[in-house]
Every structure is written in C-alpha cells, then in structure tokens.
Amino acid sequence: MFIHYQKPILALEPYIDHLWEKSVSDKEDIPYEIETIFPEDQSNITFTIGLPYYRAQKNPTDFQEINEHVVEALHTIPSYYKHQIGNHIFGIKFKIGGLYPFTNQTFKSIVNTTISLTHLINFDKEIIEQIIQADSFETRCELFQISFLTLLNPKREEKYTRFRDVLKSDDEFGQLNESGYKTLMRLFMDVTGITPKEFIQIKRINQSLAQLSQKKDIKSHELADMLGFYDSAHFTNEFKKYTGKTPKGFKSEISSTESNQIVQEFRQYISPEHLLFYTSKVHS
C-alpha cells in the first residue's frame, strides 16, 4: 500500500485539512483488513480511481460498495472500510463545516451519509475525468484545488467565517441563554449537520481516544473527571455509543498493536485517536 498526504494551498487552508491518496497493489501491503474510523468532526470527498471499495457504518458486517466519486459527510457513528487489492482512492479531508461554502445546500439531513459528488457540489465532470486520469498524486491535488477554489460562494463563506469564530469560543456554549443557543443551533445544523452538543461530545470522545492511546493505564473515572462527564458510567456509555467499543475493549486493542514507521511519517496528518489503525499489520 502506498499512502500520500499533502497540506492544501494557502487559499484553501481555512476549509481543507489535507489531501490524501491510498493504493493497494499487493496483498502483503494491506496493513489491516478492516479500518475503523471513529466519529470525527471532518468530512471527505473521495475519488474512486481503482476497484470499488467497501464502507459500512455502525455494523462492521453490512458493507456498501462505493464505485463512484462521493462526499462522505460528517459521521457520529463508527465507519468501517475494507482494504483490498486494486483499491485506489484519492481524497480530500475537510475541516468541520469546510464544505459548506462550496455547496448550495445545508447539511441538516446528510450526517452519516455518502452522497454522489456531483449531486452535492457543482463540480466540472471534465475536471473529474482529468483528476482520475492524472499520472501523479501531486497533479491530482493541483487539478482539484484550482477547480474547487472557483466554487467558493462569498455569502456562504461569510457564514462559515461566523461559524469558525464561534468555534474559537466554544467554552462559552454553556453560558448562552435560550435565544442565543437556538441561534447557535441553527448555525451548527446548517453548516455541519450536527448540534453544538454533539460537536462537544465528539471532541470529548476523540480526546479520550487520544488519552487511551497515549496512557494505556489511565482509568475510566479519571477520563470522566478530566473531560467533564458525570461519572465513569456516563463516560463508558457515551464512549460505546460513539465508537462501538468499551474503553476496556479499546485499551485491549491498543495493547496488541505494533510500532510502524507510518506513524512517525504521517503524524502531522493523522489525529492521535486514529494512529492506532496505522500501527498494526492486521486490524479486524
């Protein structure tokens, strides 16, 4: 398997976290049979260049074939991917709400869904074909970014800027009055599809995953206290709701992983809670 990552051009930094590409040509190169991605506050555009890949949500046995270019919306439940010989995927990972200024739709009803790229975004089909046929990752990145930048809607970008300003002061969410919270709720739902409460909970769960990955002996009650859960039972219930695993089960997985050079090479692109899935030869 080869994996490439690249940061976006300066003009797209407010919206895009990074661009990436994966390809599998040999069975021995598959580092894990099924990749688990826990809920996160980011969405993806993916281009299927090789054979179809398979994605499941919540249930890691109910896989759907992905054989087109799609938007994978922000998800609040675990997602699972099968890696197989012939898979070749080019993708763009967006910051939370980063897709909003490039579409004409809200995200209220598309959380946990996979949507055809051209259904959600007015992307030039000729450019898509050029991206698919490009002979290198770098060329694909250049073609996508130049074309995508032209889709930026200034009015929606203003709303996204207000949203980003809100994120900088998320500690104040709990201090809002009823009217202020309703306004914030509408902004969040339009731009991301989730509520402020769900956003904060995803952040907490991701922080707990990072802590569990780095401190394997940390206790659930310590995490509950650290991250603002009522108690260890509340933390365990929320952890299982968002990840499909108990904290104890997750720690057991971590203990069986092996170090891999990929972790160091791509650490700047892979969030701490996802490093687990780049450290083991076979993950199932």
Q: Is residue 123 part of a domain?
A: yes
Contacts of 240 (CB under 8 A, 6+ apart): 246
Residue 114, number of CB atoms within 10 A of its CB: 18
Q: Is residue 138 part of a domain?
A: yes
Q: What is the pLDDT of residue 225?
A: 92
Q: Is residue 203 part of a domain?
A: no
- Series of mean pLDDT values for 10-residue runs along the chain (284 residues): 87 95 78 76 91 86 90 88 87 94 88 91 93 96 97 95 84 64 86 89 86 81 90 91 86 63 45 43 34
Q: What is the pLDDT of residue 29?
A: 65
Full residue range of the structural domain in which residue 84 is found: 2-154
- Can you tell me the distance from the alpha carbon of 260 to that of 278, in angstroms, rounded to the nearest whole number? 7
Residue 11, number of CB atoms within 10 A of its CB: 13
Q: What is the pLDDT of residue 262?
A: 43
Of the candidates 173, 131, 139, the one whose C-alpha atom is nearest the C-alpha of residue 45 is 131
Give Cα 26 to chain centroid, integer Å.
26
Contact indicator for 187, 163 with CB cutoff of 8 Å: yes
- Write phi, then psi, for 163 (nearest 5 degrees): -60, -45
CATH code at position 28: 2.60.120.10
> How many helices, marked H, and strands, marked E, lie in the chain?
10, 10
Can you read off the two tokens belonging to residue 53? 């890949």
Q: What is the pLDDT of residue 140?
A: 97
Contact indicator for 123, 151 with CB cutoff of 8 Å: yes
Q: How many domains does the chain fold into?
A: 1
Q: What is the pLDDT of residue 281?
A: 34
- Can you tell me the distance from the alpha carbon of 144 to that of 193, in angstroms, rounded to the nearest whole number? 25
Q: Is residue 29 part of a domain?
A: yes
Q: Is residue 222 part of a domain?
A: no
Q: Is residue 74 part of a domain?
A: yes
3-state helix, strand, coil split of the chain in percent (to 5) is 45, 20, 35
Q: Is residue 92 part of a domain?
A: yes
Q: Is residue 144 part of a domain?
A: yes
